[in-house]
């Protein structure tokens, strides 16, 4: 049985203030990087990223460990399980739908199967959620490799499927380093706006001088290992596979990967791989963000995440887009 948004919020302990915000449904939430960016209210490298006008009312993730991290930092509203099994538990309505659908079949480090692959075909769950909820805006995030010639057919299919729902579609490649994230991470954001919503204007880059690896993690160079702080690192030896590059001190870090099997990039000056807390810094997570899992699982969660700072800038642009929208919902 469907319930109204207000009834849903009350049932899940949302405050009166929260009900005044734009409600958000989050899919493929992982440990919560994108969700943290969309809600704001955190600090990174001395800069404050204020609270936004968004309230996550429902989230989903299949990984139990990632759900544990999400609950530790963002709240108990996340539902653990396969999206296809829990999608019937969506609230009756939401203003925004967000999700970073799995990218392993699209990434240049994956099998390059495109959306024919089992994981990357999961974007259809976001299509389904948008079709059910008819939000004012939706955001789907994936790797920059989606723009490669080899994935041209996959991108066209994704854009067609979203466009068929009657939304104006905007897609753009972002380099996280252009927005203050100390990492050369390229990701595509697909933003759809309902026909009664103003056109989405993407956030402009905030810096022409990227934050370097040394600026991001220098203070941790002589910090003793601290498991509670996630300042622990892989002892994997150099191998002939991925993840063996050494960071350069005066450049942003390389892309943090999820499936590097311990072969995460090396520190720019120390004889070790970077720690999980250092990887979290490279991804723009605040130091207050807790990762309660062990090293390998934390490595996976950080690598899979959307950088919170980049997500915050996208969220602020969407906030501006929704600023002048008539609150009467179009059915």
Mind listing the pLDDT tens digit for each residue in 67-115?
Answer: 999 999 999 999 999 999 999 999 999 999 999 988 555 444 445 454 4
Name the average pLDDT for the chain: 88
CATH number at residue 185: 3.40.50.150
167-175 and 186-194 strand pairing: antiparallel
pLDDT digits (tens, 9 = 90+) for 19-77: 479 999 999 999 999 999 999 999 999 999 999 999 999 999 999 999 999 999 999 99
Top pLDDT among 195 and 327 is at 195
The Cβ of residue 113 has, within 10 Å, a number of other Cβ atoms equal to 16
Classify residue 190: in a domain, yes or no. yes
Q: Is residue 315 in some structural domain? A: yes
67 an active-site residue? no
Structural domain of 175: 5-206+306-322
Catalytic residue among 31, 67, 103, 260: 103
* Model pLDDT, residue 68: 98
240 within some domain = no
Task: With respect to residue 242, please indicate whether it lies within any of the assigned structural domains.
Answer: no
pLDDT of residue 63: 96
The answer on pLDDT for 129 being more than 90 is yes
- Reported confidence tier of residue 14, pLDDT bands at 50, 70, 90: very low
Q: Per the domain annotation, does 249 fall within a domain?
A: no
Residue 238 lies in a domain: no
Residue 24 has a CB neighbour count (10 Å cut-off) of 26
Task: Give percent of the chain with pLDDT exceeding 90.
Answer: 75
Q: Is the pLDDT of residue 15 over 50?
A: no
- Work out how many domains the chain is built from and give that number: 1
Q: How many residues are present in the chain?
A: 331
Query: Does the residue 220 lie in any domain?
Result: no
With contact defined as beta carbons under 8 Å apart, do 188 and 147 qualify? yes
Q: Is the pLDDT of residue 206 over 80?
A: yes
Q: Residue 10: how many CB atoms within 10 A of its CB?
A: 14
Q: Which residue has the tokens 């810096």?
A: 207
For 27-66, give the secondary structure using H, E and C: ECCCCCHHHHHHHCCEEECCEEECCCCEEEEEEEECCHHH
* CB 113 within 8 Å of CB 120: yes
């Amino acid at each position: 049985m469907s319930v109204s948004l207000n009834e849903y919020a009350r049932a899940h302990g949302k405050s009166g203030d929260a009900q005044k915000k734009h409600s958000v449904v989050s899919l493929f939430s992982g440990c919560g990087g994108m969700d943290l960016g969309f809600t704001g209210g955190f600090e990174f490298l001395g800069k404050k990223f204020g609270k936004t006008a968004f309230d996550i009312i429902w989230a989903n993730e299949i990984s139990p460990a990632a759900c544990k991290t999400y609950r530790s930092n963002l709240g108990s509203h996340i539902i653990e399980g396969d999206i296809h099994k829990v999608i019937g538990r969506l609230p009756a309505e939401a203003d925004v739908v967000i999700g970073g659908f799995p990218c392993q079949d699209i990434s240049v480090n994956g099998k390059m199967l495109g959306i024919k692959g089992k994981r990357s075909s999961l974007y259809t769950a976001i299509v389904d959620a948008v079709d059910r909820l008819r939000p004012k805006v939706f955001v789907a995030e994936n790797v920059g490799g989606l723009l490669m010639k080899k994935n041209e057919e996959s991108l066209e299919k994704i854009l067609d499927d979203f466009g068929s729902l009657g939304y104006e579609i905007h897609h753009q490649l972002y380099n996280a380093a252009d927005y203050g994230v100390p990492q050369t991470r390229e990701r595509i954001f697909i933003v759809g706006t309902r026909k009664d919503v103003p056109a989405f204007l993407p956030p402009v880059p905030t810096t022409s001088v990227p934050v370097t690896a040394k600026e991001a993690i220098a203070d941790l160079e002589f910090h003793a290992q601290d498991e509670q702080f996630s300042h622990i690192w892989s002892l994997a030896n150099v191998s002939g596979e991925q993840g063996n590059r050494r960071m350069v001190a005066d450049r942003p870090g390389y892309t943090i990967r999820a499936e590097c099997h311990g072969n995460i990039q090396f520190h720019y000056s120390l004889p070790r791989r970077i720690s999980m807390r250092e990887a979290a810094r490279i991804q723009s997570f605040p130091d207050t963000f807790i990762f309660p899992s062990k090293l390998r699982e934390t490595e996976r969660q950080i690598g899979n995440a959307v950088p919170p700072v980049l997500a915050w800038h996208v969220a602020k642009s969407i906030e501006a887009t929704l600023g002048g929208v008539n609150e009467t919902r179009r059915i």
